[in-house]
Amino acid sequence: MTRIAVPIFVRDSAEVAAALGKAQRAAADGARLIEWRVDGLPNESAEGIQPAIDLIKESPLPCILTRRTVDEGGECTENDIQRGVFFSAIAHCGFLPKFFDFELASFQKHESSWRSVLNIDEHEVSLILSCHDFDGRPADLIQRVEAMTNEPACDVIKLVWMARSLRDNLEAFDLLSERRKPMIALCMGRFGLMSRVLAPKFGGLVTYACLEAGEASAPGQPTVEELQDLYRFDRIGAATKVYGVIGWPVEHSLGPRIHNAGFEAVEHDGVYLPLPIPPEYEHFKATVGSFVDHERLNFRGASVTIPHKENLLRFVKERGGTVDPLAERIGAANTLVVEDDGTLACMNTDAPAAIDALCKGMEIQRAELDGRRVAVLGAGGVARAVVAALCDAGASVTIFNRTKDRAETLAAQQKAATVGRAGIDVGDVDALSQGSAGRFQIYINCTSLGMAGGPGADQSPLPDNAPLDEDTTVFDTVYTPGRTPLIRHAEARGARTIFGLEMFLAQAAMQFEHWTGKAGPMDVFRGVVMEHR
């Protein structure tokens, strides 16, 4: 069973009581190990050694004792001889931790001395030999694994490096799967969360989590609450199916919260993760392809958001998968399904969800959209879905986009697909920004402006003098935050507003059914969103 370890820093004797209190909280939250980080304790017996002994003696959970050097991400500035004095005192105090964590590089320099200092030959305490690289994957990673595997004194191998992409996690999983000794293999940074959450799927001995946000001992470390409550860590096993939300950025997404809660509600053995992939198609293709092809990952699907919806369609076509006719017509997909036999399918749930949300918010039937003048802001994947759905409903659509060529391409595609059904035009962005583009009954924002964590988070796609009033409906497909700058502006002008959350929940429920074969539990989804907005 993979254990969650919580690192707690203690820098002087006055912090011991508070640190033990944190350890109690960590145990209550579901941690199974405490890592006492004593990097900053002084080396004198009265001021440094005794606090460390007290921490070991009073620890509410089995513990790891670590005095990490600066060059491997710690705070200890001592040389190895000085650290040897510290560890020697601990090793002979009568109260031993479950593990000492010691750097491979330092151990190799002073092997015989460290064997004596740590009582390794008597096996009174287990030794974690570790290596940390904050710049990226070590070029000699495999050689380090072999060195630790072949070292009799090493009880646990620990490898931690800064991930360059999501694909680094797959190498960590392969190392765990092929281990010959107990192993910890984790990736740091924004790309490394997957290695921490899925450690139990691949048999990792330990994963590390902080007690509170902001107290992480390494970049990208989640909290214990996130591991246990959000990702259902204790339920992850070898057969767990892996899903996620692919985008750039993606950290703002509520997808992990609603889908993991949904899996819990219907007892589906799956876990859903944020999967940040840079915008270029090459990154998407390489990453998603490696996930689909990985023998042990059991990657079964994903929600795909900005800017990858067109990339998903291209990827599935290139892999010989099935493209839903609506997604083909739209030219973008937002849902990936990986079947049991590894074949791929993609579809677009944005289009039906957009119409559902719009009609519900306006309290009208779909047929009543016929002939209504609608301004669609943007020409990306979301806009493609919204325009297609509106045209099917007979609305008169004008597309506004900073890159006019993209708007014209989208308009031409939809004109060809909906001959005789609706009017489609391309508007002048400058006129829109000056408030002189004319009046529309409905405005729909399909850009990322106003999205928390994205560029332009404090911006609205409509100018202050846009003609909004009580006869106008403003629908923002951005759902985080709930009240975007556009929604606040529209509310101040008296317009009817529709939050992106409604579309988000509707399309998520459709995705959930594609993956699990069960209806999306909307009450659960909505409750989770209300709790975490």
**Residue-by-residue DSSP string for 215-265:** --SSTT--BHHIIIIIS-GGG--TT-EEEEEEESS-TT-SHHHHHHHHHHH
- pLDDT tens digits for the chain (533 residues)? 999 999 999 999 999 999 999 999 999 999 999 999 999 998 765 567 899 999 999 999 999 999 999 989 999 998 888 888 888 888 888 888 999 999 999 999 887 777 777 665 565 789 999 999 999 999 999 999 999 999 998 999 999 999 999 999 999 999 999 999 999 999 999 999 999 999 999 999 999 999 999 899 999 999 999 999 999 999 999 999 999 999 999 988 899 999 999 999 999 999 999 999 999 999 999 999 999 999 999 999 999 998 999 999 999 999 999 999 999 988 889 999 999 999 999 999 999 999 999 999 999 999 999 999 999 999 988 898 999 999 989 999 999 999 999 999 999 988 877 655 568 999 988 888 887 888 899 999 999 999 888 889 999 999 888 899 999 999 999 988 889 999 999 999 999 999 999 999 999 999 999 999 999 999 999 999 888 87
Rounded to an integer, what distance in angstroms lies between the CA atom of residue 135 and that of residue 188?
10
Q: What is the pLDDT of residue 46?
A: 55
The count of residues in the chain is 533
Identical fold for domains 243-348+517-532 and 351-498, yes or no, is yes
The pLDDT value given to residue 308: 94
Q: Is the dihedral of CA 56, 58, 64, 65 positive or negative?
A: negative
User: Where exactly are the structural domains of the chain?
Assistant: 3-237, 243-348+517-532, 351-498
From the number of C-beta atoms within 10 Å of its C-beta (0-12, 13-18, 19+), residue 140 rates as exposed
Yes or no: say if 450 and 431 are a contact pair by the CB < 8 Å rule. Answer: no
So what's the pLDDT on residue 533? Answer: 72
Q: Can you tell me the distance from the alpha carbon of 119 to that of 366, in angstroms, rounded to the nearest whole number? A: 76
Homologous superfamily (CATH) of 3-237 is Aldolase class I (3.20.20.70)
- Asked whether 2 and 207 are in contact (CB, 8 A), the reply is yes
For residue 320, what pLDDT is reported? 97
At 377 the pLDDT is 96
Residues forming a β-bridge with 246:
275, 304
Question: What distance in Å separates the CA atoms of residue 42 and residue 38, rounded to the nearest whole number?
Answer: 9
Spatial distance between the Cα atoms of 307 and 480, rounded to a whole number of angstroms: 16
Would you say 286 and 316 are in contact if contact means Cβ atoms under 8 Å apart? Answer: no
Q: Which two tokens stand for residue 153?
A: 């004194």
Distance CA 360, CA 467 (A): 23
**CATH number, domain 351-498, options 3.40.220.10, 3.40.50.970, 3.40.50.1370, 3.40.50.720:** 3.40.50.720
Minimal CA–CA distance to 242: which of 232, 228, 253, 252?
A: 232
Query: Where are the extended beta strands (E) located within 316-381?
Result: 322-323, 335-338, 344-347, 373-377
Burial 169-204 (b: 16+ CB within 10 A, else e): bbbbbebbeebeebbbbbbbbebbbbbbbbbbbbbb
CB 272 within 8 A of CB 152: no
Whole-model pTM? 0.89
Q: Which one is the CATH code of 243-348+517-532: 3.40.50.10860, 3.40.50.300, 3.40.1190.20, 3.40.50.12280?
A: 3.40.50.10860
What is the pLDDT at residue 291?
A: 98
Cβ-based neighbour number of residue 61 at 10 Å: 17
Active site (catalytic) residues: 309
Residue 45 is predicted with a pLDDT of 56
Q: Where does 30-157 have alpha helices with state H?
A: 50-58, 80-91, 104-109, 111-117, 141-150
Cα angle 39, 43, 44; round to 5: 150
The pLDDT score that the predictor gives to residue 422 is 61
Question: Hey, what amino acid is at 495?
Answer: A
C-alpha span between 258 and 399 (Å, rounded): 32
**Tell me, what's the pLDDT at 113?**
75
pLDDT at 433 (0 to 100): 80
Please return the burial class of 328, using the count of CB atoms within 10 Å of its CB with bins 0-12, 13-18 and 19+. Answer: middle
Assess whether the previous peptide bond of 249 is cis (omega < 30° from 0).
yes
Give whole-number Cα distances, 49 to 14, 76, 95, 309, 456, in Å: 13, 14, 12, 57, 51
Determine if residue 189 is left, alpha or beta; phi over 0 gives left, psi from -120 to 50 gives alpha, anything else beta. left
pLDDT at 522: 94
CB 357 within 8 A of CB 382: no
